[in-house]
């Protein structure tokens, strides 16, 4: 990314707090951690931040709240400063001219606390973890643009993780728009929560394996605590959305359009599989719901959905500048017959998504078959992929018991279905297998 383009992003689209970067020193690596109603677990996570080969680590901790948050969130947020002082010393204010920011000494570098939790500084309702991540990564992007952050990647994670020792050392692939670390969930002591965590992880891995089976370019996990964003690509897509949830999904969907999303090998990030109401969906909300409903109610996508997706992506790969609507439907029908499926549900779902209009628009503006297919791959992104899955689901391909889904899915051969930890391990092994 050019210096001019970076400056444009930082001047026009970055948040206010990143100007604090001008008062900081130089660092080898940067890690952004949002915190919303966190307790002792936050300090344990910060103590476990590993060293990086390129120099000191800057940890940007964005403690945030919003007007609608319950009282316990505000109480915990206000207790963070005392917790940090007990663990890392009193710290020092970064600048008296800026909103509250305090720097603490960390064994592997320094910890910058940004206050978005006191009443005058809280986020608006409807914004949350996405804005917290954006504030932190924007600050690190400004450091990088000034030549004071050696790594080209900024990592983001959460307060409930344990990071592997070589965490920063793996961020080396400059061709990637984002790197994704492997992960595993740590089950809770409570039996129902532990089972819910395992079922949730099974569903995550099942979905990604289904996308890979369909040859989707979006076959990767979207978990905010596992992302390292390349700074130039991050600024090119204007950073994290300010959303209260799913900020990781939408950032990666944007980044996938400007460069590869690379899933890293190696030791996983360990994520606590806790029940939580911090965000409306995601791990905490899913674990809470699954535990309340019970494992016997747990269902996953009908495996045929991924066969329909594979048929559609195969037909999409046959398009050229002169392909008519009728010819596209013939190609879809042929690919569905290859999958031993009736084409009707897929054709109806694609019509509801406006596929034919998108094809005509791409044909009108593309100057080559390669350009046409690139345009359509960008149009049919991670969001529309998920939307097609949901349209097919509503059209009659309802979710099925997770054991039935695993038994029939051609991409999830896991063996016995009564051992949830073994299923999780087997699905993770399938993900690591060469495509």
Same-domain status, 100 and 237: yes
Domain interval for residue 336: 304-394
Same-domain status, 134 and 42: yes
| Structure-block tokens of residue 342 | 């009736």
How many structural domains is the chain composed of?
2
Contact (CB, 8 A) for 38 and 80? yes
The sheet that has 153-156: what strands, in order across it?
92-93, 101-106, 109-116, 57-64, 29-35, 153-156, 227-230, 178-180, 261-263
The set of residues, in sequence order, having a beta carbon less than 8 Å from that of 93 and lying 6+ positions away, is 100, 101, 102, 103
| Structure-block tokens of residue 196 | 């819910």
Q: Using CA atoms, how far apart are residues 145 and 139, in angstroms rounded to an integer?
A: 10
Q: Using CA atoms, how far apart are residues 177 and 236, in angstroms rounded to an integer?
A: 10
Residue 143 lies in a domain: yes
Same-domain status, 242 and 311: no
CB count within 10 Å of CB 285 equals: 17
Q: Using CA atoms, how far apart are residues 314 and 316, in angstroms rounded to an integer?
A: 5
The domain boundary residue, chosen from 254, 273, 292: 273
What residue has token string 């319950």? 70
* C-alpha 394: how far from chain center: 25
Same-domain status, 49 and 183: yes
Query: Distances from the Cα of 216 to the Cαs of 309, 319, 339, in angstroms?
Result: 8, 16, 16
| pLDDT recorded at residue 98 | 64
Same-domain status, 115 and 242: yes
Same-domain status, 148 and 236: yes
Instruction: Compute mean pLDDT per 10 residues along the chain, 435 residues long, and list them.
Output: 78 86 94 95 96 96 95 95 93 78 95 94 92 96 95 96 97 94 87 88 97 96 96 95 91 95 96 64 71 79 98 94 92 96 97 94 93 92 96 96 96 90 96 85
Of residues 55, 229, 47, the one with CA closest to residue 134: 229
Same-domain status, 228 and 314: no
Residue 330 lies in a domain: yes
| pLDDT recorded at residue 279 | 53
| pLDDT recorded at residue 189 | 74
| Structure-block tokens of residue 186 | 């740590």
Helix crossing, 325-338 with 304-316: angle to 10°? 140
Q: Using CA atoms, how far apart are residues 138 and 231, in angstroms rounded to an integer?
A: 9
Same-domain status, 115 and 180: yes
What CATH number corresponds to the domain at position 7?
A: 3.90.550.10
Mind listing the pLDDT tens digit for each residue in 276-294? 555 555 666 777 787 777 7
Q: What is the 3-state secondary structure (H, E, C) of the chain?
A: CCHHHHHHHHHHCCCCHHHHHHHCCCECEEEEEEECCCCHHHHHHHHCCCCCCCCCEEEEEEEECCCCCCHHHHHHHHHHHHHHHHHHCCCEECCCCCCCEEEEEECCEEEEEEEECCHHHCCCCCECHHHHHHHHHHHHHHHHHCCCECCCEEEECCCCEECCCCCHHHCCCCCCCEEECCEEEECCCCHHHHHHHHHHHHHHHHHHHHHHHCCCCCCCCCCHHHEEEEHHHHHHCCCCCCECCCHHHHHHHHHCCCCCEEECCCCCEEEECCCCCCCCCCHHHHHHHHHHHCHHHCEECCCHHHHHHHHHHHHHCCCCCCCCHHHHHHHHHHHHHHCCCCCHHHHHHHHHCCHHHHHHHHHHHCCCHHHHHHHHHHHCCHHHHHHHHHHHHHCCCCCEEHHHHHHHCCCCCCCCCCCHHHHHHHHHHHHHCCC
Residue 375 lies in a domain: yes
Same-domain status, 257 and 373: no
Residue 432 lies in a domain: no
The set of residues, in sequence order, having a beta carbon less than 8 Å from that of 412 and lying 6+ positions away, is 206, 209, 210, 303, 405, 406, 427, 430
Mind listing the pLDDT tens digit for each residue in 339-384? 999 999 999 999 999 999 999 999 999 999 999 999 998 999 999 9
Report percent pLDDT > 90 for the chain: 78
Same-domain status, 53 and 131: yes
Q: Using CA atoms, how far apart are residues 223 and 191, in angstroms rounded to an integer?
A: 24
Residue 409 lies in a domain: no
Cα-Cα-Cα-Cα dihedral sign, residues 38, 41, 47, 53:
negative
Residue 82 lies in a domain: yes
Same-domain status, 267 and 308: no
Residue 211 lies in a domain: no
Residue 198 lies in a domain: no
């Amino acid at each position: 990314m050019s210096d001019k383009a970076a400056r444009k992003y930082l001047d026009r689209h970055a948040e206010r707090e990143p100007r604090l970067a001008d008062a900081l020193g130089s660092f080898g690596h940067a890690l952004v951690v949002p915190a919303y109603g966190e307790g002792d677990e936050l300090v344990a996570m910060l103590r476990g931040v590993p060293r990086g080969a390129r120099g000191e680590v800057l940890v940007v901790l964005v403690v945030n709240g919003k007007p609608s948050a319950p009282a316990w969130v505000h109480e915990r947020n206000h207790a963070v400063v005392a917790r940090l002082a007990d663990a890392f010393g009193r710290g020092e204010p970064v600048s008296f001219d800026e909103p509250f920011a305090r720097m603490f000494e960390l064994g592997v570098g320094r910890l910058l606390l940004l206050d978005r939790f006191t009443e005058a500084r809280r986020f608006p309702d409807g914004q949350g973890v996405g804005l917290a991540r954006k504030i932190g990564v924007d600050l690190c992007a400004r450091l990088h643009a000034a030549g004071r952050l050696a790594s080209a990647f900024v990592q983001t994670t959460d307060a409930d993780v344990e990071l592997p020792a070589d965490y920063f050392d793996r961020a080396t692939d400059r061709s990637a728009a984002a790197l994704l670390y492997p992960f595993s969930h740590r089950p809770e002591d409570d039996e129902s929560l532990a089972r819910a965590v395992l079922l949730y992880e099974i569903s995550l891995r099942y979905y990604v394996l289904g996308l890979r089976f369909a040859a989707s370019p979006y076959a990767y996990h979207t978990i905010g605590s596992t992302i390292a964003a390349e700074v130039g690509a991050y600024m090119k897509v204007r950073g994290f959305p300010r959303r209260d949830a799913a900020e990781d999904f939408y950032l990666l969907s944007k980044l996938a359009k400007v460069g590869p999303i690379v899933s890293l090998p190696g030791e996983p990030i360990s994520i606590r599989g806790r029940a939580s109401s911090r965000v409306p969906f995601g791990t905490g909300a899913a674990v809470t719901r699954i535990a309340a409903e019970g494992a016997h109610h747990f269902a996953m996508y009908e495996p045929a959905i991924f066969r329909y997706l594979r048929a559609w992506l195969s037909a999409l790969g046959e398009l050229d500048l002169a392909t008519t609507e009728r010819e596209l439907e013939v190609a879809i029908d042929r690919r569905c017959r290859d999958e031993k499926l009736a084409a009707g549900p897929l054709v109806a779902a694609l019509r509801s998504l406006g596929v034919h209009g998108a094809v005509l628009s791409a044909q009108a503006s593309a100057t080559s078959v390669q350009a046409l297919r690139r345009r359509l791959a960008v149009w049919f992104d991670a969001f529309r992929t998920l939307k097609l899955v949901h349209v097919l689901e509503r059209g009659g391909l309802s979710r099925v018991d997770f054991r039935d889904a695993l038994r029939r899915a051609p991409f999830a051969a896991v063996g016995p279905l009564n051992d949830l930890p073994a299923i999780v391990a087997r699905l993770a092994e399938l993900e690591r297998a060469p495509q």
